[in-house]
Amino acid sequence: MCANRLTTGAAPRFPTRIAHCDLDTFFVAVERLRDPQLVGKPVLVGGRGPRSVVASASYEARAFGCHSAQPMAQALRACPEATVVPPDFTRYRAASEAFHALLRDASPAVESVGLDEAFADLTGLGADGMGARATAEAIRARVRAELGLAVSIGIAGGRTTAKVTSDRAKPDGLLDVPAGGDAAFLAPLPLRELPLAGPRLVERLALAGVRTIGQVAVLDAGWLVRQFGAAGHALSERARGIDATPVRGVPRAPVSVSREVTFGEDVRDPVLLDRVLEGHAERIGADLRRAGRRARTVMLKVRWLDFTTVTRSHTLARPAQSTAQLAAVGRALRAELVAREGERPVRLIGLAATNLVDEALQLRLEERATPRDERLDRALDAIRERYGGAAVRRGARSRGRG
C-alpha cells in the first residue's frame, strides 16, 4: 500500500487518496470574471495574428469543434460568432497563485503541474482520516466563493487515475473512485484516456485488438515491455491502477528556463533581434534569480522563414545568472550564427538557460563582493517585484542601442 509515504510507528495506515484539481476553461473563466458579458457565449482566448493559436476555448466554442492549440483562423471558421480575447497572463498568473495557495491550505502536499492544475495529497485527512471527499468538496466551495472559478476534482489511489478521473468529472464536478477501485474504474475506459498512451501506442495496440484500459491491464507485462520498452512497464502498471508516484510538496528545482517569441512578420533587423534577445535574457535572468539557480549553458534557438530551426549553445566557465551575461552570450551566439549563415529572415527567436546549478558562486581571489551587474539585477528585480514588470527598464533597452 502506501509506498509513497513514511508512516510513523504504529500510526494507522490510511488508503492513499490523491486528488487532481483542474480549473475548467481557466483562461476563459478568468476573462469572464473581468467581463461578465462573455458568460454563456463562445469565447476563444488567443491572439489574432496570422500564426496565432487558441490558448483556451469556452465550452460553447468547443461545441463548434474549437479546441486549444488549434490555429485561430481555423477556430474562427468553425465558429465565426466567437469572441476572441487576447490572453492576459499577468491576470492568469495571479489567479493561479491564489488557486494554489488555497490548495495548500487544504493539503500538506500540493504539486503544481500547470497554471490551472495541481495534484493534492488528501491521504488521512479529516477527523477519521477518511476525509478526502469532504476536503475536495471544501476546496471546490472555496474556489467557487473566493475566486469565482469552477474546479473539477478527481480523487483516486494514484496520480494517473486521479488525472483520468478529473477529466471525467468535468465540467465543474467531483468524482471519487473508491479506495482500491482504481483498476475497476479504469477498465472500461478507452485507452486514449490514459495520459501515458500516446497516439502511436494507441494505434499499435488497436491493431492487436486492444482498445480499453482494462484490456491492457490483463495483457502480459513482459510482452508490453518487449513491445514498448520502459513505457510498456509503466503502461501495464498504470492500467492496473498502480501508481505510487508521490505528490511532491516541494517544487522541483528547474532544469532549464527559456523564452521564445514567434514574430507576426519575419524579422531580419539585427538591432531588433538583439533587443528581443535582451528581453528574453531579462526574463530568464529574473526567473533564475528567483529560483536561486545559475546557468552553465546558454542556448540560442532560431527558426528561419523556411521553418528550419537551428540551435547554438555555449557553456560558460562560470555559471551565469545576470541579465547582462545571458544577453551577451545570446548576442554572441547570434553573431556566430549570422557569420555562418548570413542575416536571414527570422520567424522565431528564443533563448534558453540550461544545465542549471545551485546559485552559489565561487568567488575569485581578486574580487571581494558580488559582481556589480548581479547587484544591479537584484535591485531591478526588487523594484519589479513591487511595482510590476514595466516599472524599470535598462537604458539600452528603452532607448535602443548605439
Partner 1 sequence: MQLRCQQDQLHRGLSAVSRAVPARTVLPITGHVLLEAEGGHVKLSATDAETIAITYTIDAAVAQPGSITLPSRLLSDFVATLPREEITITLAERSRQASLSCARNDASIGGMDPDEFPPIPPVQGTGAVQVEPERLRTALEHVVFAAATDDSRPVLTGVHFAVGPESIRLATADGFRLAVYTLELAQSGLERDVIVPARALAELARLLPEAAQPVTMTVNTAQTQVLFDLGHATLIANLIQGTFPNYQQLIPASSTMRSEVAVGEFKQAVRLASIFARDGSGIVRLIASPGTGGQPGKLMVTARADEVGNNEAVIDALVAGDEARIAFNSRYLIEVLNVLTTDRVAIETTSPSSPGVVRPVGDDRYVHVVMPMFVEW
Which residues make up the interface to partner 1 (CB under 8 A)?
250, 252-253, 292, 317, 319, 357-366, 368-370
Residue 13 or 290: the one with the smaller Cβ distance to partner 1 is: 290
Cβ distance to partner 1 smaller for residue 241 or 319: 319
CB 323 to partner 1: min, Å: 18
Which one from 117, 237, 278, 374 is the annotated catalytic residue? 117
Residue 23: closest CA among 151, 129, 111, 148: 151
Q: For residues 347 and 266, is the Cβ–Cβ distance under 8 A? A: yes
Give the separation between CA 317 and CA 336, rounded to whole angstroms: 19
Closer residue to partner 1 in complex, CB, 110/183: 110
Q: Tell me the three cell numbers of residue 217.
A: 491491464
Min dist CB 4 to partner 1, Å, is 15
Side-chain half-sphere exposure of 377, counting CA atoms within 13 A: 23
How far apart, in whole angstroms, are the C-alpha atoms of residue 315 and residue 329?
9
Q: At 313, which helix (H) or strand (E)?
A: strand 309-320
Structure-block grid coordinates of residue 127: 477527523
If we measure between CA atoms, which residue out of 367, 370, 348 comes closest to residue 289? 370
* Nearest approach, Cβ of residue 361 and partner 1 (Å): 4
CB 332, min distance to partner 1, A: 17
Q: Which is nearer to partner 1, 207 or 317 (CB)?
A: 317
C-alpha pair distances (Å), 111 with each of 19, 146, 245, 284:
10, 21, 12, 23
Q: Cis peptide leading into 371, omega within 30 of 0?
A: no
Instruction: Output the smallest distance, CB 378 to partner 1, in A.
Output: 11
Question: Which residue, 108 or 388, is less far from partner 1 as judged by CB?
Answer: 108
Distance separating alpha carbons of residues 263 and 346, to the nearest angstrom = 8
Which of 252, 340 has the CB closer to partner 1? Answer: 252
Which amino acid is present at 24? D
Residue 319 C-beta: closest distance to partner 1, Å: 8
Residue 278 annotated among the catalytic residues of the structure: no
Q: Which is nearer to partner 1, 227 or 355 (CB)?
A: 355
Cα 314 to Cα 354: distance, rounded to the nearest angstrom: 10
Do 76 and 82 form a contact (C-beta atoms < 8 A)? yes
DSSP 8-state secondary structure symbol assigned to residue 147: I
Burial class (CB in 10 A: 0-12, 13-18, 19+), 396: middle
Residues 262/348, Cβ–Cβ less than 8 Å? yes
**HSE-up (13 A, CA, CB side) for residue 80:** 1
Known catalytic residues are: 117
